[in-house]
Amino acid sequence: MFPPIVGLSPAYIGAQLSAFKGGYRSGDPGGLMSSVSRKLSPSDISALSQWLSGGKDHPEMGLSRHGVYADGKFSPPAWDGGPQGPDGDAIRYGRALFLHTRKLAPKFDRNGLNCASCHLAGGTLANAAPLWAAFVSYPVYRKKNHKVVTYGERLQDCFRFSMNGKTPSLSSQEIVSLEAYSKW
């Protein structure tokens, strides 16, 4: 479930968002909560706290319960082909590569697995290594790498370790498209 405050009381959520905004709380992956919270007004924090606790929609902030189950857990949108334009092209290629890795990127995949071999339901299934949960968790220190790695570097590690292959460059169509699909 992301963020972990979903479903908690509005007062608690508001206090945490205010603490992140004021710099009294830290330790969030990649400084995400701190960065987002600093941009919120007091009325934004109030509305967001109500919404995250399971309260009402706030269309003025673009907040709706779409994609969130009644129990407050996130559910990614169903695949609809993605948006039009260059972003959509990258997302569609990233999804195709994710589902058919061994066919579309054989030079990087030496054991015949697809990304979807480990990340179920196209990387959207909760508790099955979902991409939407991984994407927001980077950059982060990985003991295996002995350093802080970006999401792109983590994708490279999937090719290197999970697929026993070569690593595409961070600027490659493969990595950029997988990042675009993960973000979508």
Which residue range is the domain that position 38 belongs to? 10-61
d(CA 119, CA 34): 29
> What is the DSSP code string of the chain?
--STTTTS-HHHHHHHHHHHHHTS----GGGHHHHHHHT--HHHHHHHHHHHTT---BGGGTB-STTB-TTS-B-PPPP----SHHHHHHHHHHHHHHHSHHHH-TTT-SS---GGGTSHHHHT-TTS--HHHHHTT-SEEETTTTEEE-HHHHHHHIIIIIS--PPPPTTSHHHHHHHHHHH-
* Domain contains 174: yes
Closest among 136, 88, 1 to 154, alpha carbons compared: 136
* Domain contains 15: yes
pLDDT exceeds cutoff 90 at 168:
yes
pLDDT exceeds cutoff 90 at 18:
no
> Considering the entire predicted model, what is its pTM?
0.63
When divided into structural domains, the chain yields a total of: 2
pLDDT score recorded for residue 160: 93
- Asked which of 76-80, 89-93, 119-123 is least confident by mean pLDDT, the reply is 76-80
Query: Does residue 105 or residue 50 have the better pLDDT?
Result: 105
- 73-85, pLDDT tens digit by residue? 666 777 888 889 9
Map tokens 């092209």 to a residue: 89
**Whole-number percent of the chain with pLDDT over 90:** 33
Question: Quick one: 178 and 98 in the same domain?
Answer: yes
If phi > 0 it is left, if psi is from -120 to 50 it is alpha, else beta; for residue 62 that is left
* Domain contains 66: no
Domain's final residue, options 61, 77, 96:
61
* Domain contains 159: yes
Confidence at 15, pLDDT banded by 50, 70, 90:
confident
Question: Quick one: 90 and 178 in the same domain?
Answer: yes
pLDDT score recorded for residue 93: 97
Looking at residue 179, which CATH number applies to its domain? 1.10.760.10
